[in-house]
Amino acid sequence: MLTKIREKSQGVFAWGILIVICVPFALWGINNYLDSGQEAPVASVGDKDFYQRDVNKAYEQYSQRLQGLGIDEQSLKAQALEKLIKDEVLLQYVHEEGLTATDDAVREFIKSLEYFQTDGKFDDKKYKVLLNSQRMSSNEFVSRIKNALVMEQFQHSIVDSSFATQYDVESFFKIQNQQRDVDYVTVALQKISEQPSAEEISAYYQQHQDLYQTPEQVSIEYVELSLADIAKTVTVTDEKLKAFYEEQKDQYTTPERRKISHILFAINDQTNEKAALEKALKAKQELVNKDFAKLADEVSDDKLTAKTGGDLGLFNPGVMEKAFEEAAIALKLGEVSNPVKSSFGYHLIKVTELAAGNIKPFDNIKDELTKAYQKSQAENVFYDAGEKLTEMSYENPDNLQIVADALSIKVNKSALFTKDKGEGIASDEKLRTMAFSEEVLQGNNSTPLELGTDRLVVLRLLEHKAAARRDLNEVKQEVLDVLLKNKSKQLTVEKAKQINARLQKGESLQTVAAENKLEIRKAMGLIRRKSDLPGELTEAIFKAAKPLGGKPGTFIVPMPSGEQVVVSLSKVTPGVMSDEDKKQMELAKKNIANAFGQTEFNAVLNSLQAKADIEVKLKVQQAQ
């Protein structure tokens, strides 16, 4: 539950910022630079108009984030439009209030993004290539980032100022740890005695023709830049490889492993320096017949390491004082140094573990070096070719052969594939999404698509097969199966309602269950976060009203399988904080406060939206 609260408290602009930052190359593509002509806006916020293409692009991001949740396209497009409107309302408000982010803050933020980094460092060339791929200037991109950050900061100013009291936390755990006692019976799917008629089959088919279609399909032609392919063309000589080996020698070197221990005789002032040295010399003599670790435990003034025999762990050059390091490096395994003076006092140092460092010989790793060298040399070529690919595919939006000829790569073709499934390169979900995008379906080259960090693809439509209705004779059995299942579910629902009605009239669950040959199951002291019951059933049990007047409360819970569960709720016991809960008190306060703050922010945003000049002019369209 605490995790869910934390998830729900995330900013309303979190995914919006990701879109602006991480995937502007999908959201703000070539279409944004085409003349809208006489296209009517879908909606407006003040002077800002949104067009169908804006909704389509936002929808593409929504569909990727919410894929698999079963939300239909029209609902997603409506949500995408609502998101665009909310963001614009807030953006206009923060601008009116004069809120802004500094250029330095924006610059540092962009530099921190992995999308623009190579080996953990900001790559200016990569940054420019990616922006050029969208015909977007750095100033324009920085402006978008600045807007997103200001909106996020405004949100945090509200969310972060919220707080939760002790009462709020205790109330939360009372609900979180609440216990409920239930009895329940499961009504299985009822058997169908009468088969659907031909008329019923035909009527259902006519009413649900959209369910019985061959899916929309496309095939594409594409050009692909691959770092691995470019690397194979890099010429390698022993001379170049040896020079590369010298440059990268650290990567093929295993450093020496040296573990040391010490006994310290501290110097507190100049008067006892001589005494400390005498103690060290005496201890060195005692080591002839005494174990180093035992002596360290007895006499070392470094009480922290004395308990572990003076163990200082692995020796790392550059950490200790020069005299100490020189002595530690000079020792052999098991050897003890003479007294060594440092600013702390006199040390006796012993090497307790030693494994010599080594460098992998050139000849032993020649194949590995060759691949690494070719890759390093190919990276600049890859980025340069990527920039050229971006420019030429944009300048020749209806042709890939010109690009292929210029880059000496071939134009490949795919087999037909659907939005949900494909083979070969079409097995990549990102590519399928791009292939069915409005941009590609209209006949344009796609924007460059990154498949990993080392492959860049531009594609265009080769063939488009619209969804087609399947003949009734072909799908008759499918329709029959659906009708039988629906009738079975309907009978099951009616049976569950009859049972529940009898329980609400006062009949006992035992009597009704016996008559219907149903097994009664019990769940005593059920806790929501420790329930072994199906999630849908647990959720319904804890959403149900408490029983009143000493009578159980009864209700029906539909299950995904079509079965119906009739539940009798007999007792609700308030929860108490466990010792483990008390340990999470601060985390609970923080997460509950965040949830309160998010609720408050949503209320502010709704208020701003109610006051804004918003007009939704056209209904969003289905993707063609």
| Same domain membership, residue 190 and residue 297 | no
| Same domain membership, residue 272 and residue 128 | no
- CATH label of the domain that carries residue 286: 3.10.50.40
pLDDT of residue 314: 86
86 found inside a domain:
yes
Question: For residue 33, is pLDDT > 50?
Answer: no
| Same domain membership, residue 184 and residue 111 | no
Question: For residue 131, is pLDDT > 80?
Answer: no
Task: Report the Cα 278 to chain-centroid distance in Å.
Answer: 63
Q: Encode pLDDT of 247-283 as tens digits.
A: 888 788 887 888 999 999 998 776 588 889 999 999 9
Structural domain including 447 reads 224-232+373-469
pLDDT of residue 114: 79
Higher pLDDT, 595 or 623: 595
Identify the weakest region by mean pLDDT among 18-32, 40-54, 182-196, 249-263: 18-32
97 found inside a domain:
yes
At 174 the three-state DSSP class reads helix
Contact between 351 and 328 under an 8 Å Cβ cutoff? The reply is yes
* Cα separation values, 412 from 335, 415, 461, 521, Å: 68, 10, 12, 61
Contact between 302 and 310 under an 8 Å Cβ cutoff? The reply is yes
- pLDDT band of residue 53 (cuts 50, 70, 90) is confident
- pLDDT band of residue 29 (cuts 50, 70, 90) is very low
- CA-based angle 510:514:515, to the nearest 5? 120
pLDDT of residue 78: 81
| Same domain membership, residue 153 and residue 276 | no
Range 135-140, long-range pairs (CB < 8 A, 24+ positions): 135/30, 135/33, 135/394, 136/24, 136/28
153 found inside a domain:
yes
Contact between 23 and 61 under an 8 Å Cβ cutoff? The reply is yes
Q: How many domains does the chain have?
A: 4
Token pair in block for residue 99: 């809120």
Contact between 123 and 116 under an 8 Å Cβ cutoff? The reply is yes
Closest CA to 609 of 84, 98, 162: 84
Domain final residue pick, 409, 443, 469: 469
Question: For residue 21, is pLDDT > 50?
Answer: no
Domain final residue pick, 469, 493, 517: 469
Token pair in block for residue 168: 């709020």
pLDDT of residue 182: 95
323 found inside a domain:
yes
If you average pLDDT over every residue of the chain, what do you get? Answer: 85
| Same domain membership, residue 608 and residue 486 | no
Task: Report the Cα 609 to chain-centroid distance in Å.
Answer: 30
Taking residues 146-160, what's their average pLDDT?
A: 90
Contact between 172 and 584 under an 8 Å Cβ cutoff? The reply is no
244 found inside a domain:
no
**HEC per residue, 256-270:** CEEEEEEEEEECCCH
| Same domain membership, residue 189 and residue 142 | no
- CATH label of the domain that carries residue 89: 1.10.4030.10
Q: Encode pLDDT of 566-588 as tens digits.
A: 999 999 999 988 888 888 888 88
Cβ burial, residue 440 (10 Å; 0-12/13-18/19+): buried
Taking residues 403-416, what's their average pLDDT?
A: 94
pLDDT of residue 578: 83
| Same domain membership, residue 569 and residue 440 | no
Quote the strand ranges of 81-216, DSSP E: 117-118, 121-122, 179-187, 213-214
Token pair in block for residue 614: 């918003």
Higher pLDDT, 62 or 497: 497
242 found inside a domain:
no
pLDDT of residue 5: 32
100 found inside a domain:
yes
At 188 the three-state DSSP class reads coil
521 found inside a domain:
yes
| Exposure on the CB side of residue 560, measured as CA atoms within 13 A | 3
Domain final residue pick, 469, 496, 527: 469
| Same domain membership, residue 143 and residue 44 | yes
| Same domain membership, residue 446 and residue 544 | no
> What distance in Å separates the CA atoms of residue 384 and residue 126, rounded to the nearest whole number?
10
| Same domain membership, residue 350 and residue 261 | yes
| Same domain membership, residue 47 and residue 102 | yes
- For tokens 């209209």, the residue is 442
| Same domain membership, residue 479 and residue 459 | no
- pLDDT band of residue 35 (cuts 50, 70, 90) is very low
- pLDDT band of residue 327 (cuts 50, 70, 90) is very high
pLDDT of residue 15: 37
